[in-house]
Copies of this chain bind each other. A is one copy, B any other.
Amino acid sequence: MTAPRYDVIAIGNAIVDVMAPASDELVEELGMTKGGMTLVDADQARDLYAAMGPAKEISGGSAANTLAGLSGMGAQCAFVGQVADDQLGNVFAHDIRAVGIDFDVPAREGEPPTARCLIFVTPDGQRTMNTFLGATQFLPAGALDEEAIGGAEILYLEGYLWDPEEPRKAMRAAIKSAKDAGRKVAFTLSDAFVIERYGDDFRALIEDGMIDIVFANEVELGALTGEDDFDVGLAALDGKVPVLVVTRSEKGAVCVTGGETFKVAAEPVEKVVDTTGAGDLFAAGFLFGHVRGEEPSRCLKRGAIAAAEIISHYGARPETDLARLMDEKLG
């Protein structure tokens, strides 16, 4: 096993976020579940966009946001995801490369267009997401570079992308490549709806020892384990997942590893502006510490710091020099 070329290689959705402030009334009027993520088709996306206030376009995508955080801390990263050959695809590709992440998947010709996520941000900072998947769901298994995957310390997978068939196949192939090369596989569960549909897949992968690190929030932990009680849910995965990280919003986060439980409080923020990307950046902070062999408590603390940065402004990509921020906060 040669020295890894990448700290983390990720497979995820290539999405541009379209973000606008919105009132709670508007979110209700449009029949959206506040705080949730809903997949929408082209017609629904058009109608929701028409109902949205003036917006900003900022690159997003869960795993891509995590990589942007990792890269900002100084990690070497590569991204695998599918954009279309259009202006938003160009925006996504520019923004991810501009932070030093390798991204080599060719843009896909023709319809559908690049994915976008219409995000309504209410005054409490909560985000309600409506995702038009477009091109991102057509990531072909052929887009994977086995050598790159084998040469990355961690393969990071976004649960959202388990839903469409082609990327799911690609991810299964990537897991095999990573494990064959003796690398670690990290998986973020993304959303309860993904677990409702594919929980059996995930549980089987975990039972088979294919997943080394799992990121989840409380709801996703409950959906995966079938346990309503948080501590019972944690216990249900004990010994099955080498590293389990569960984020709990303002209650902080927990890591269970090696039979031990570690906790971190949420990092204080002056004002929660927009929670988009909080989980993604928590994962970034944790993984950065993890690939450097740091103690779980320090990894958690990095996660909390990165998450606090992202919720203090609009958009799910860091706006602060995270490397410097970590130095300041951790000493």
Q: Closest residue of chain B to A98, judged by CB?
A: B54
Do the beta carbons of B56 and A315 come within 8 Å of each other? yes
Contact with B along A1-33 (1 / 0, CB 8 A): 000000000000000000011000000000000
A57-B57 contact given A87-B86, A87-B87, A87-B113, CB 8 Å threshold: yes
Q: Are A50 and B88 CB-contacts (below 8 A) given A56-B56, A56-B315, A57-B56? A: no
Which residues of chain B have C-beta atoms less than 8 A from A95's C-beta? 54-55
With A87-B87, A87-B88, A88-B87: A98-B53 Cβ-Cβ less than 8 Å: yes
Nearest residue in B to A68 (C-beta to C-beta)? B54
Whether B87 lies near A52 (C-beta < 8 A) is no
Contact assessment for B59 and A54 in the assembled complex, using a CB-CB cutoff below 8 Å: yes
Which residues from B are CB-within-8-Å of A59?
Answer: 54
| A51 and chain B: residue at smallest CB distance | B98
A183: interface (CB < 8 Å): no
Q: Which of A147-182 contact B (CB under 8 A)?
A: none
A 111-141 to B, binary, CB cutoff 8 A, 1 in contact else 0: 0011000000000000000000000000000
Most buried by B among A52, A56, A114, A315: A56
Q: Name A301-328 residues within 8 Å CB distance of B.
A: 315, 317, 319
The answer to whether the Cβ of A91 comes within 8 Å of any Cβ in the partner chain is yes
Closest to A53 in B: B98
The number of residues on chain A lying at the interface, defined by a beta carbon within 8 Å of a beta carbon of chain B, is 27
Given A87-B86, A113-B87, A94-B56 contact (CB < 8 Å): no
Copy count, this protein chain:
2
Provide the residues of chain B in CB contact with A52, threshold 8 Å. 94, 98
Alpha-carbon gap, A88 to B88, bound state (A): 8
Q: Tell whether A99 is near chain B: CB-to-CB under 8 Å.
A: yes
Q: Indicate if A202 sits at the interface (CB-CB under 8 A).
A: no
User: In the bound complex, how far is the Cα of B315 from the Cα of A21, in angstroms?
Assistant: 15
Q: In the complex, A315→B53 CA distance in Å?
A: 15
CA–CA, A21 and B58, complex, Å: 14
Q: Kindly state the separation between the CA atoms of A50 and B90 in the bound complex, as whole angstroms.
A: 11
Determine whether A103 belongs to the interface, using a CB cutoff of 8 Å to chain B.
no
Closest chain-B Cβ to A276's Cβ sits at a distance in Å of 13
* Residues 43-93 of A contacting B (Cβ, < 8 Å): 49-50, 52-59, 68, 86-88, 91
Establish whether residues A50 and B315, one from each chain, have CB atoms under 8 Å apart when the complex forms.
no
> What chain B residues lie within 8 Å of A58 (beta carbons)?
56-57
What are 27 sample pairs from A and B whose C-beta atoms fall under 8 A apart?
Answer: A21-B319, A49-B94, A50-B94, A52-B94, A52-B98, A53-B98, A53-B99, A54-B59, A54-B94, A54-B95, A54-B96, A54-B98, A54-B99, A55-B91, A55-B94, A55-B98, A56-B56, A56-B57, A56-B58, A56-B315, A57-B91, A86-B86, A86-B87, A87-B87, A87-B88, A87-B113, A87-B114
Interface residues of A (CB under 8 A from B): 20-21, 49-50, 52-59, 68, 86-88, 91, 94-96, 98-99, 113-114, 315, 317, 319
Q: Which 10 A-B pairs have the closest CB atoms?
A: A57-B57, A87-B87, A54-B95, A54-B98, A53-B98, A56-B58, A87-B88, A56-B56, A54-B99, A86-B87
